[in-house]
């Protein structure tokens, strides 16, 4: 679902991952026709970084619980 937002409503993605300031910047970028594509790419990249960070935190949590 977040990937859908990252492509079609890029600024919403930032609000869902807890980055409201980036969401406002992305909204300003998205308001121009030419800025829509870079905004979608930026949101998709930010979403992948968010997912990677969550996986790392989960792995570290499991690692420290096992010790």
Give mean pLDDT in consecutive 10-residue pieces for the chain, a chain of 67 residues: 87 92 91 88 94 91 72
Burial of 67 (0-12, 13-18, 19+ CB in 10 A): exposed
Provide the pLDDT for residue 36.
86
Q: State how many domains the chain has.
A: 1
Provide the pLDDT for residue 3.
85
Name the token pair of 33.
Answer: 């026709």
| C-alpha gyration radius of the chain | 14
The whole model's pTM is what?
A: 0.77
State the residue range of the domain holding 45: 2-66
Provide the pLDDT for residue 33.
78
Asked if residue 42 lies in contact with residue 26, where contact means CB atoms within 8 angstroms, the answer is: yes
Provide the pLDDT for residue 6.
87
């Amino acid at each position: 679902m977040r990937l859908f937002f990252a492509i079609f409503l890029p600024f919403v993605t930032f609000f869902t991952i807890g980055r409201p300031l980036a969401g406002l910047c992305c909204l300003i970028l998205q308001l121009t026709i030419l800025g829509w594509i870079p905004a979608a790419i930026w949101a998709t990249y930010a979403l992948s970084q968010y997912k990677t960070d969550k996986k790392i935190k989960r792995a570290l949590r499991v690692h420290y619980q096992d010790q």
